[in-house]
Structure 1
Amino acid sequence: MIKRTFPLLMVLGLTACASDPAPTEQLRLTEQALTQARTLGVDGEQSASLRLAEEKFAQAQAAMQDGENKAARLLAEQAELDARLAEAEHINAKGHEQLLEINQRINRLRQQLGAM
């Protein structure tokens, strides 16, 4: 029994000790998501989600420089999701504004038709 479990424990131990690779690809994806949100017009001063994404991205870069690749990857993933959330919130707000404008136009048309 010990002869069978020892190799398994060794493999598990070695994989646990293996260092995480640098999350360069995740950092690139996060930077793209931040750029895309800013390109759409999301303002970091008005969007808490974008501010949070930028903070986490900076933390991820610092963690990667410190050699903490796992923490850097997690922070970069969170930052990417926060940037995408900021983008979705912005698109949703724009859609809501357009809906209000369309409803105002409809009401004006109804008033004009009622006046005839």
Structure 2
Amino acid sequence: MTIRPLIAALALLAMAGCATDPAPNEQMRLTAQALEQAKAVGASAEDMPEMKLAEDKFSRAQGNMQDQSYKKARVRAEQAELDARLAEAKVLTGKSQAQVDALNSRITRLRKQVGDAQ
């Protein structure tokens, strides 16, 4: 009588081991969106290694999707999304720094003008 519950438990474990990960469609969509956002602010694979990595990982994730290797696809898509967001952040940081530098330059010129006028 104790053998039946054991067999049932083993059968459940075997079925759980055969279950596949669901397709990461939402993650793939988010990654594609992150890549587009990074490109929109000026990130390019030619200029930024992070963007190149993002595109490469996303391409591999798409291949994993076709092979139905959904776990690998999810991991690569997540990595690609993070790489794309890093590229975007670096571009935006660079643009912000350029604006700060331009403002500091204008302030310096104005101070010189005010000093010369006194």
Shorter-normalised TM range: 0.7 to 0.9
1:34 is paired with a residue of what secondary structure? helix
* Equivalent residue number for residue 17 of structure 1: 18
**Inter-partner Cα distance in structure 2 for 1:9 and 1:103:** 71
* Equivalent residue number for residue 102 of structure 2: 101
Query: Once the two structures are aligned, what percentage of the paired residues are identical?
Result: 49
Q: Point out 4+ residue stretches in structure 1 off by more than 3 angstroms.
A: 1-14
* Equivalent residue number for residue 33 of structure 1: 34
The Cα of 1:7 is off from its aligned counterpart by: 5.8
Q: State the superposition RMSD in angstroms.
A: 2.1
* Equivalent residue number for residue 80 of structure 1: 81
**Inter-partner Cα distance in structure 1 for 2:102 and 2:57:** 36
How many residue pairs match? The answer is 116
The structure with the largest alpha-carbon Rg is 2
The Cα of 1:5 is off from its aligned counterpart by: 7.5
Q: Deviations over 1:68-105 (max 9, x none)?
A: 11001100011011111111111111011111111101
Change (3 A) 1:115 1:73: same
What is the identity, as a one-letter code, of the residue corresponding to 1:94?
K
Change (3 A) 1:70 1:115: same
- TM-score if structure 2 supplies the norm length? 0.86
- Residue range with higher mean Cα deviation, 106-115 or 3-12: 3-12
The Cα of 1:17 is off from its aligned counterpart by: 2.5
**Inter-partner Cα distance in structure 2 for 1:11 and 1:110:** 78
**Inter-partner Cα distance in structure 1 for 2:9 and 2:95:** 56
- TM-score if structure 1 supplies the norm length? 0.87
Gaps of 5+ in 1: none
The Cα of 1:42 is off from its aligned counterpart by: 1.4
* Equivalent residue number for residue 62 of structure 1: 63
